[in-house]
Amino acid sequence: MSERQGGNTALLDAVRAKFSGTVETLDEYGDIVLVSPVATMHDLLAWLRNEQGFDLLLDIAGVDCLELDDAAERFELEYILYGVSSGRRVRVRVHIPETNLDVPTLTDLWQSANWAEREAYEMFGFHFVGHPCLTRLLTHHEFVGHPLRKDYPVMGGQWCSTSSDLTDELNEDQRGAPR
Amino acid sequence: MGNDTGKTESTPQRGTHDEEFDRGTFEQVLDARRDDFDEGLDLSDLNTQPMFVNIGPTHPATHGTFRVYCKLDGETIEKAGIGVGYLHRGFEKIVETKPYPQVIPYTDRLNYCSSLTNNIAYCKAMERMLGLEVPERTKIIRVVIMEIQRIMDHMICVGTNIVDIGALTNFWYFFNARDHLNSVLEALTGARLTYSYSRIGGLAWDLPEGFRDNVRAALKKVPRAISDVRGLVVKNRIFQDRTRGVGAISTADAISYGWTGPCLRSTGCDLDLRKVAPYYHYDEFEFDVPVGANGDSYDRMLVRIAEMEESLKIVEQGIANIPDGPINVDDKRVMLPSKERVHTTMEGLINHFKVLIEGPKPPVGRIYDATETPNGELGFYIISNGSGQPYRIKVRPPCFYTMAALKYLIEGAMVADIVAVLGGLNVIAGELDR
């Protein structure tokens, strides 16, 4: 535990040195959270992956902050990272305004970002700039709207009738891990 | 796949169209082919158009509902498109309308092959958020039933995977042993699939009478099943041909795709949260983390079989050392009062309805908590706004990310390899689509 906390302090120092003034650091239940603006998030995540050893992008969680008190912006994206060799965890939080849902894609860093971003796109409507195949993944291709937004009704089912031909997925070029 | 397999060499069978054509030896044919190519022969008259084949969404060999749409060159998959979401039930939407304890039955329906592990993973995250420390007895009971579930989950995965590539017997060997384990859990929880046994801050009820003996009796069936399957499968030539080198992935690629659990360990990486970030005294149990070398379908299956043996060790150690004591935390925010207090005191009655209707109210904040489930890292990212209902729960399902790599694994392979790869990934549609 002490070793992990020592690693956390080193990481916080490195973040403050590298991204002073732009990236805010939080501690939530012992986990480090880095709050980054959209403009620097790709640099921050690339730096975490390439230089700090956070090589596993576990998940991308979209959040609609519509009913959340003291939220900075309407939406948030939370990137959950893990360092396989160090055993450390870090999360990167990005506030995204409702007026501009463009977010840089991470598919150039991690393959796991591919499906995770597609899910965040269909559920919340984020537009991941540069994503190779930004189509609906879990919901039907005729589905309209973004079901995990807070203003989407819980029982808001839709009638979808035709099956998808999966040609977008078929033609997508996927060549293993980005180096 | 082909119709001519199994024919002996002395009586070559031919199609009617090349009756007169004497093929000669294989080498002669190859030489002739090479000469044709050297002369720049136009092969456009051969039937070489790509064929598009759709497999799924309901296919007996996929064990769940997903689609693979393939562009085939002969029997080789040139391109593949993966379609998922047929079992999307809106888990993350519906739980936003439920008090925290009522989310537990929904977690059963994530990975329905190991429901108890999902229950416990969710409760573990909630307990961390509420600052609760479950009693020692509960910790060891949770370890025991989680490891029983790991054995059962691996039995389904390995058993059905071997069925898919043509060996039915092994499935029954595993399911025979699994049924005994299932009966143990039925005596414990009253259910055989969706157990809902764990509670925030403890367990639904204590162990039934004779639980230890039942577990020991059921565990005795497992090593026999494993050795039976090993004897039939591991050194079997057909099995090796079908799985060795099929769907192979390097550690770097697997990490990039977000793999965890036995699938990642089959590539040689020994990441196991039970060792790296131990919870529930896993660091005090003696067990090894089996790893593979090549990350192919063969290694994935063998890692799972080896993990079952390690889980057996953990269950045996846990069963021998279940401490006495309470199973639930003493905290009125999460635990129901005793029926006697509910029926005789006003405070007890109010407490009862507060817990049932409003639910426990964790402080405003966010947490990400991960558990090593049979499939890999199951994470719950929970946002609390201070009310009794979660503001948002994001599940990190381990098989979502293994499934995302399927396109990469099967492109360039043969059609028959799809099921050999898919089964080894242990993709559970309930967890994948939520």
B392–A111 C-beta distance less than 8 A: no
The answer to whether residue B428 is domain-embedded is yes
State yes or no: cis peptide before B57, omega within 30 of 0.
yes
- Band (pLDDT 50/70/90 cuts) for residue B8 is very low
Q: What is the pTM of this model?
A: 0.84
A25 forms bridges with which residues in the sheet? A34
Q: List B residues 253-282 in contact with A (Cβ-Cβ < 8 A).
A: 253, 255-258, 260, 269, 271, 276-277
Q: Which two tokens stand for residue B356?
A: 């049932």
pLDDT in tens, B133-157: 899 999 999 999 999 999 999 998 8
Contacts of B256 in chain A (CB under 8 A): 55, 110-112, 176-178
> Helices (DSSP H) in A97-163: which residue ranges?
113-124
What is the predicted pLDDT for the residue at B4?
46
Closest C-alpha among B399, B424, B405, B372 to residue B154 = B424
Pairing of strands A24-28, A31-36: antiparallel
Judge whether residue B327 has pLDDT over 90: no
What is the predicted pLDDT for the residue at A60?
92
Distance CA B204, CA B197 (A): 5
CATH code for position B167: 1.10.645.10
The answer to whether residue B317 is domain-embedded is yes
- Band (pLDDT 50/70/90 cuts) for residue B10 is very low
Count, residues in chain A: 179
What is the predicted pLDDT for the residue at B7?
42
Measured at the CA of B193, the angle between CA B188 and CA B198, to 5 degrees, comes to: 50
Judge whether residue B351 has pLDDT over 80: yes
pLDDT in tens, A165-177: 777 777 777 655 5
The answer to whether residue B174 is domain-embedded is yes
Angle between helices B136-164 and B417-425 (to 10 degrees): 180
Q: Does B87 touch chain A (CB under 8 A)?
A: no
pLDDT in tens, B204-240: 888 888 888 989 898 888 898 898 888 888 788 888 8
Residue B173 to residues B222, B228, B239, B312, Cα–Cα distance (Å): 9, 7, 17, 17
What is the predicted pLDDT for the residue at B3?
45
B69–A170 C-beta distance less than 8 A: yes
B407–A87 C-beta distance less than 8 A: no
Helix (H) or strand (E) holding A42: helix A38-50
pLDDT in tens, B37-92: 666 655 555 666 788 888 878 777 677 788 888 888 878 888 888 888 888 888 89
Q: Provide the residue range defining the domain that includes B127.
A: 91-329+359-395+414-433
What is the predicted pLDDT for the residue at B425?
86
Tally the domains of chain B. 1
Q: Does A97 touch chain B (CB under 8 A)?
A: no
Pairing of strands B376-384, B392-396: antiparallel
Q: Does B136 touch chain A (CB under 8 A)?
A: no
Judge whether residue B369 has pLDDT over 60: yes
Does the CA dihedral B143-B149-B152-B153 come out positive or negative? negative
The answer to whether residue B70 is domain-embedded is no
Q: How many CA atoms lie within 13 A of B73 on its CB side?
A: 5
Evaluate whether B390 touches B106 at the Cβ level (below 8 Å): no
Judge whether residue A5 has pLDDT over 60: no
The answer to whether residue B43 is domain-embedded is no
SS3 B80: strand
Evaluate whether A129 touches A103 at the Cβ level (below 8 Å): yes
Contacts of A87 in chain B (CB under 8 A): 276-277
Q: List A residues 14-53 in contact with B (Cβ-Cβ < 8 A).
A: 28-29, 31, 33
Q: Give me the residue spans of the domains in chain A.
A: 2-171
CATH of domain A2-171: 3.30.460.80
